[in-house]
Amino acid sequence: MGRQRKRVVTGEAAPLPRKDEKPPAFHRKEKKKKVDIGKVFINISIGLCIFSLIWFFYALYMRSSLAKRVATLHPSPPVLDANCSSAKVSPERFWGSYRPQVYFGMKTRSPRSIVTGMMWMRQFSDTDVNLRHTCEQGDGLQGYGWMMHDGLTFGVQEILDNDITLTTEFVKKMGGGHGGDWTWRITAKQQSSAPQAPVISLMFYAAADTQGSLEAHVEDRNRLASITGFSEELGNFKITFRKPVTGELSSAKYASYNYLQTVSPGLEKLTDIVKQSLNRRFVYSPPSGEKRHYIAIDTYKPPHHQNQQKPADTRKEIDFVVHQVTVQTPFQIEVLFESGSFHSRPNQLVGSIMTQELEKRKAEFDSKFEKTFGLESKGFSQAHIKFAKAALSNMLGGMGYFYGQSVVQSVYNEYPLLYPEGALFTAVPSRSFFPRGFLWDEGFHQLLLSKWDPQVTREAIAHWIDLMNMEGWIPREQILGDEARSKVPAEFVVQRNENANPPTLFLALQELIEQLSSNPEKAASQPTLPFLRRLFPRLKTWFEWYNTTQTGPLPNSYRWRGRDKDTNLFLNPKTLTSGLDDYPRASHPSADERHVDLHCWMALSSGIMASIARLLGEPHQDYELSHQVLSDNNLLNELHWSDQLHAFSDYGNHTQAVSLQQEKVYVPPGQPRHQFPVARLVRSVRRAPKLQYVNALGYVSLFPFLLHILTADSPKLEHIFSDMRDSNKLWTPYGLRSISKADPLYMKRNTEHDAPYWRGPIWININYLAVRALHHYSNIEGPYQEKAAALYKELRTNLINNVYRQYVETGYIWEQYNDSTGRGQGSHPFTGWSSLTVLMMAEQY
């Protein structure tokens, strides 16, 4: 213990206070003051802590709340009733070819449908196993697609597989309470004159998608005669496999039979299960001819066992039954589906009855096609009309019914979330490459389908709008269900809620409004008004979402979100959200950008919103004002006219002095090169970017003309028509190329792996808008009326002739067309917006 110091006191010591003596008043005040200040500081500290805690928990709550918004559906009543696609409400549309991703198959418009389909393969061929099932460009078929399809009751498809032609036909017959009956007829013929007719195996199957059960009925040891089953939507049903015949009236042909009854973890596994069950132990022994071993389904053993590391598939297994018939061409086989609730069936839909029904439907289709499009009266040849019927039929036959959950994410989510389960009835761009729904494609699809069947358009738009979240956002690519997800690269699966897509559904809505206005008494247009009334609350939110999330840096300007952020690897960072992918925008993405195409989409949308509001008796003044402001040609010129280019242009942080260069990888002396990274192509910027017009002449430059924003007397039309007709810029004998031949990025790769996409090739959707706009300006009095009429005639003829010629030469309608040769390229068949050729032929805009 330390010693205490003695205090040294000089002078007299102050007397010690007595116990009963009070301290002086100023001492008491000072002490009280100290206590009061201390209390204040303590109270402030406690208050700050409480406030901080409240703020912390409020911020957590808000972040949690904002994080949930991306996956919370819009609160207004859905446009569609919950059971609108059921067999009771819509029996005639219940069954259909709603599986566009397979060459031939049918399902119902229900979340967990019984699915049916067909696979095939050639026996005794040079290749080992050439099983066909899902539409694959790698299969190298010479052509496939629906030649006739009314979207409702029947379809006729031709498949050309080397020297074999398969014709797949179906007819539906209404009756009972579960969507009625249907029959398939598959006819196989040899196209070549080879002495040995090919032997092929057809595999018909049924699978129960997590609900329902299937039971196989086998006769003669290995021939599957029929399948009986039950599901909630279908009740009891029976699928009968008839024996192959040479023709409708001939007797049965020799065939070998096999069957498989197993389970599958999901519909996307069906092809793999069949492949893994194949065996060569079976013998094909026709009465006259050599005996040969052939490949057939046998037994299936799941490939993953308990001792393997891969986790087991936790999904509920589904019943899967396959009937294989192996027979020499030519032959014909029928498969009959009969509903258990169809009690008063006069006769089975097979043989001559099936033929009669089919011929009747074909005649009705031909009559309706001519009445709708009038191509015969316009002088088109039968070959051209056959092509146009195929283009329409393939879009109708490509309608799909999908059910599942999107994977979504917002800036408030650390990880992606599952969107609520939903259904989508939609056309698809390409059965082979894009067999799912795309938002901006669908608006173009419905321009054609609304002419044929407005009810299809109303239902498709309603399905899309019902997928809207509470913010007003619709995921632009719909990847619903395991089958759809299995065809999509992982980097494209997650949908982000700041990303838009052109609101082309407004084009289809405009068409429905015009049909109603021009002929309000027509039965097909009657449901449009109540449909718009149910649609309107969500439509308002959708429009507002664009108007708040996609705004630009200046008043009444707009900017696409979602551009690629890694500027090091891209010659020009892509803008997938605009629909025009690699079309050149500002070289350095920034918040200073202004996009002219989006400005025009908003001008169009505000005008159509005003029309709908007026039609419904809702307040329309704000939409009308927006439309007037955004359509103001002076504003458009101020924001987007480039005097240097003499064209409309985007604006942003930009330089044209960019190129892709091989990056330099330093390898120390004496070190092996293969141990170091492979040199990539990376972007080299030779001159710093600055805020300026992008000056890329192409499709984006045309948007004020394409969407009729320019007035008929606008002097800008003269520049646009001049650029369009200049073969050194946009004009080709096959259609308008996507970017000027004189542009520095014309036909330039965007990365070492990305070939030019919207940098030269001809796209039919934008060319359709151009033909439509020329038709518009040629019918309005103005100084450029005659020029528009001449360009209209020439461009329309070029487009129709080239798309038709390529179809005849290649068997396909294509995603895009080469601007130098007119040759079809990209995805095929692409009977999405390329089918708009039919409307150009009909001159219906």
Question: Where in the sequence numbering do the catalytic residues fall?
Answer: 581, 815
Does residue 829 have a cis peptide bond before it, meaning omega lies within 30 degrees of 0? yes
Q: What is the largest CA-CA distance in the chain?
A: 144
Residue 117 structure tokens? 């389909």
Backbone angles phi, psi at 382, to 5 degrees: -60, -35
Cβ within 8 Å of residue 247, ≥6 positions away: 332
Q: Is 367 exposed, middle or buried (0-12, 13-18, 19+ CB in 10 A)?
A: exposed
Helix (H, G, I), strand (E, B) or coil at 676: coil
Torsional sign, CA 766, 769, 774, 775: positive
- Whether 406 and 419 have beta carbons less than 8 Å apart is answered as yes
* Residue 98 CA to its chain's centroid (Å): 15
Backbone angles phi, psi at 377, to 5 degrees: -70, -20
Does residue 689 have a cis peptide bond before it, meaning omega lies within 30 degrees of 0? no
Strand partners, 424: 402
Q: State the number of CA atoms in the 13 A half-sphere of 106 facing the CB.
A: 25
Q: Is 383 exposed, middle or buried (0-12, 13-18, 19+ CB in 10 A)?
A: exposed
Cβ within 8 Å of residue 681, ≥6 positions away: 569, 660, 661, 662, 663, 751, 752
- Whether 358 and 154 have beta carbons less than 8 Å apart is answered as yes
Q: Residue type at 141?
A: L
| Three-class DSSP labels, 384-453 | HHHHHHHHHHHHHHCCEEEEECCEEECCCCCCCEECCCEEEEECCCECCCECCEEHHHHHHHHHHHHHHC
Q: How far apart are the C-alpha atoms of 172 and 90, rounded to whole Å?
A: 14
Other beta carbons less than 10 A from residue 2's beta carbon: 4
Q: Where are the beta strands (DSSP E) in 677-747?
A: 681-685, 690-693
Residue 793 structure tokens? 């005639």
Q: How far apart are the C-alpha atoms of 95 and 231, rounded to whole Å?
A: 14
Nearest partner of 436 among 477, 378, 384, judged by Cα: 477
Angle among Cα 188, 190, 192 to the nearest 5 degrees reads 160
In order of 2, 273, 314, the CA distances from 265 in angstroms are: 83, 10, 8
Q: How far apart are the C-alpha atoms of 475 and 494, rounded to whole Å?
A: 9
Q: How far apart are the C-alpha atoms of 697 and 243, rounded to whole Å?
A: 61
Residue 527 structure tokens? 């449901």
Nearest partner of 652 among 715, 584, 736, 603, judged by Cα: 584
Cβ within 8 Å of residue 599, ≥6 positions away: 556, 557, 558, 630, 636, 639, 640, 703
* Residue 525 CA to its chain's centroid (Å): 27
Query: Which string of b and e fits 759-784 if b means at least 16 CB within 10 Å?
Result: bbbbbbbbbbbbbbbbbbbbeeebeb
Other beta carbons less than 10 A from residue 575's beta carbon: 28
Residue with tokens 């073969």: 727
Q: How far apart are the C-alpha atoms of 180 and 237, rounded to whole Å?
A: 10
Other beta carbons less than 10 A from residue 190's beta carbon: 16
